Amino acid sequence: MSRRVPAALTAALLGHALPAATWLSPVRRLTPRIAGRGGPRHVALTLDDGPDPSSTPLFLDELARLDCRATFFVLGAMLRRTPSLGRRIIAEGHEIAVHGWHHDNTLTTRPGRVTGEIRDTVHLVQDVCGVTPSWYRPPYGALSTEALVAARRNDLRPVLWTAWGKDWTSSATPSSVLETLAPGLRGGATLLLHDSDVTSAPGAWKSTLGALPEVVRRCRAAGLAVGPLRDHGVHP
């Protein structure tokens, strides 16, 4: 996910090569594959920063009630703490993807660390959940050259988002999440939301959970299927 990016970093990224600036909106418009633009009748629901024992089980319960599946971008450090939640995510038909080991900006992390942490997270997902992840989303959406190379070496496809709910702030509410997402609730969208507040304002996940039923309802009312990235039709 992407948030709390200082203005100075925004300016600095504008001078980097394409892989270092893919989180920027103009660049994402020019790279629809990395943005997660999918099939015209499908919306990809993605959740970042878990699995969190305080909140992820409630999201899984609500998704089960809605009969909806999602892609969970997990942090290795969080999955190591609660491996049973990773197994539950898979057992209930959802998809697990890689968000990194810690929530570090790949543009400011010392060389070599990102490579090792992406590899370690992939191996942990394999060992704990019995599946091989297919997707990688860098923290803050800052896809450095090293992260891009490491993702490819681990057979991961980088993907960002086309719409977010700005659900990480202390002022977020279910209504504000819906209002922010609304312009992007269309076919082919990849939605960025969060099932944990580990890098957000305390309790921010409650706004996301409160908005989730209406997000799914609005998509379905428009004739759009809602599901994980594996069903989204993102071209290789």
Of the listed 99, 103, 194, 232, which one is catalytic? 194
Of the listed 48, 49, 52, 195, which one is catalytic? 48
**48 catalytic per annotation:** yes
Give the C-alpha separation, 230 to 138, whole Å: 18
Please list, in sequence order, all residues whose beta carbon lies within 8 angstroms of the beta carbon of residue 108, skipping any fewer than 6 positions away: none
**67 catalytic per annotation:** no
Residues noted as catalytic: 48, 194
